[in-house]
Amino acid sequence: MKPIALTRPVSPKLIDCELTHLDREPIDISKAKSQHKKYGQALEKMGYTVRRLSETPDLPDGVFVEDTAVVFDELAIITRPGAKSRRPETSSMAEVLKEYRGLHHIEAPGTVDGGDVLVLGKKVYIGISQRTNREAIRQFDKILNPIGYEVNGIKVTDCLHLKTAISQLEEDLLLINPKWVDKDIFKGFHTLFIHPDEPFGANVLRRDNWALCSEAFPRTADLLAKRDYEVISVDQSEMAKAEAGLTCCSVIVE
């Protein structure tokens, strides 16, 4: 099966998105929609088939689909987002995702955003943040341990989600902001540090030799290019005002 990227259109109410670390700024919805279209085109260039979920105009954060589900080879887990306003986003994701995987659901009182879940082979690292609690991690472990996964909780304090500070480039190579996450947690992995002037640069999306990063982080793009990746830079300035990174806007189904 050709890999699929599930996305969702930008809500006209994006300005009313949930915020944790940033002050609210005006968001140009027309510009956000244009940027999101180019994001989809970049995913297609990387070899993904982009499948767009139905629009949810009354859900401000609906475009940030990563937080609604985590996909594994064997199954998918539908999350229970930490922000109450975001929980209605999961039903439409589940309706589509059930075509590709058997589904499991995180139940109350567990809360988890998919942006806090980093899957590295059979090791799963979950950020304990303002959006994700230990009960959700316990439920992840209950679902995944029987099929051979090891689940680990990591405290997140300085950024919204764990994956704001780290992403996987290769099977054994991680791109990290060392001020936000301790590289020593990830035993057996090599690490590559982002430039300190680009603290949000670690959130990238890689497939084969392609690396997708934000236009706002040219030093990160240079770092990746020097490692011979074919770098695609996209403008995500409006999404960034909503505390979003590149991976926030898609759920990947390999």
**Active-site annotation, residues:** 161, 248
Query: Cα–Cα distance between 222 and 127 in angstroms, integer?
Result: 28
Rounded to a whole number, what is the distance in angstroms from the first to the last CA of the chain? 7
Nearest Cα residue to 142 out of 97, 186, 110? 110
CA dist 209 and 218 (Å) reads 18
If you ran DSSP here, which 8-state letter would residue 22 be given? S
Token pair in block for residue 196:
């300190």
d(CA 154, CA 16): 29
